[in-house]
Amino acid sequence: MKVRIFTPGPTPLPQEVKLSQARDIIHHRTPEFSEIFRKVCDGLKYVFQTKNDVLVFSSSGTGAMEAVIANLFSWGDEVLVVSGGKFGERWTEISKAFGLKVDTIDVDWGRAPDPLQIEKKLQENKKIKAVFTQLVETSTGVVYDVKGISSVVNKSSAVLVVDAISGLGAQTLFTDEWGVDVVVAGSQKGLMLPPGLSFVSLSTRAWQLVDNASLPRYYWDFKKARASLSRGQTPFTPSVSLICALEESLTLIREEGLANVINRHRIFAEAVRKAVSCLGLKIFGNPPSNAVTAISVPTGIDAEKLRKKMQDDFGIVIAGGQAHLSGKIVRIAHLGWMDKIDIIGVISALEMSLFQLGYGVELGKASKAAQEVITGNII
């Protein structure tokens, strides 16, 4: 069966990425690897929109989140977490595991934080050393106003740490221009790679925290990573095959142009939302992201049955809800290596599945809506 994945990570792999991993492995302590690694680090700066170094780790995105906490803080430090979904909660969980004192901005799942709430917290408690947030909260499909959050955090002495794991390459993120201190990303999303690499960029202000932080770290040591980077190396054996694959995907992003990549995500997200809405379904997240659309499943439709139908009959894999949203939403990712026909495909599978499950659907209507958005916007 032809299987097509529309999950918010892993995302589909371009042919260049797949084939690069079928090549012979090269040794990492060689000029050949260093040349590739330097190119990759340059490309990452472009995607991160930063002049600062982007550090590369062999881990999932959660590893890089932990790395930030282990490198920037000391036991008992106070931090503020925007908690509006599963990945906001993850910041809290890691922070607590490392002995930080955590205050939260609790946001209803499916909504975004108001920067003014964050500003108020920072004014009330001057000891807060960092604000943690997402760019896109993957569990709810919501995009956060990182520019707005940054402008209030930058009035304080706290640093802003943004989990852009699902957002990078799908949403505008001007790391340096907006004054975002730390950006975390992963390989299996907008970067169109298999999972296994994670990335962290740090501002000068963030590096100052590293100098004074006393939490234990070794594998995640940012200073070691930065020192190795200057020699085109990593402190420990890197995931060579994934780094070679990243060279390929970064080339694709450069060729298309980052602004065009993001615009493509914006249009596809709009097409999916228009199509879903005309099926009478409700978009769960607001404001909705360019990366993943969360859809409320109406009474009478079993979310898991719907996903199973789409997969069994059409080979289309979408995601369900996480935690308390399990069974209540489904999530369609339009992230990474996606084209117009992919979007028509997932929408068609959705409407045909709903039709066959007995939900009153007029066949072709949703596809038409998606086509209207796609043809109205020349990519």
In the shown chain, the binding pattern of residues 357 to 376 toward a copy of itself, with x for contact by CB under 8 A and - for none, equals: --------------------
Using CA atoms, how far apart are residues 118 and 14, in angstroms rounded to an integer? Answer: 39
**Which among 216-224, 255-263, 354-362, 363-371 is the span making contact with a copy of itself, rule CB under 8 A?**
216-224
Q: What residues between 70 and 89 interact with a copy of itself by CB under 8 A? A: 70
Query: How many positions of this chain bind a copy of itself (CB under 8 A)?
Result: 54
Helices (H), the chain: 15-20, 31-48, 61-72, 86-97, 115-124, 146-153, 175-178, 204-212, 222-229, 240-256, 258-278, 303-314, 340-356, 365-376
**Which among 204-212, 238-246, 251-259, 271-279 is the span making contact with a copy of itself, rule CB under 8 A?**
238-246
Using CA atoms, how far apart are residues 254 and 46, in angstroms rounded to an integer? Answer: 8
Q: What tokens appear for 59 in the block?
A: 């881990």
- Of the candidate residues 54, 79, 240, 297, the single one contacting a copy of itself (CB under 8 A): 240
What single letter denotes the amino acid at residue 66? E
Q: Are 167 and 205 in contact (CB under 8 A)?
A: no
Residue 188 binds a copy of itself, judged by CB under 8 A: yes
Using CA atoms, how far apart are residues 240 and 32, in angstroms rounded to an integer? Answer: 11
Q: How far is the CB of 150 from a copy of itself (least distance, A)?
A: 26
In the shown chain, the binding pattern of residues 53 to 72 toward a copy of itself, with x for contact by CB under 8 A and - for none, equals: -----xxxxxx-xx---x--
- Of the candidate residues 74, 119, 148, 195, the single one contacting a copy of itself (CB under 8 A): 195
- Of the candidate residues 1, 22, 341, 378, the single one contacting a copy of itself (CB under 8 A): 22
Q: Is 102 exposed, middle or buried (0-12, 13-18, 19+ CB in 10 A)?
A: middle
Report the DSSP beta bridge partners of residue 56.
199
Give the binding site for a copy of itself (CB under 8 A): 3, 5, 7, 9-13, 18-19, 21-30, 58-63, 65-66, 70, 93-94, 97-99, 186, 188, 194-196, 215-219, 221, 236-242, 317, 319
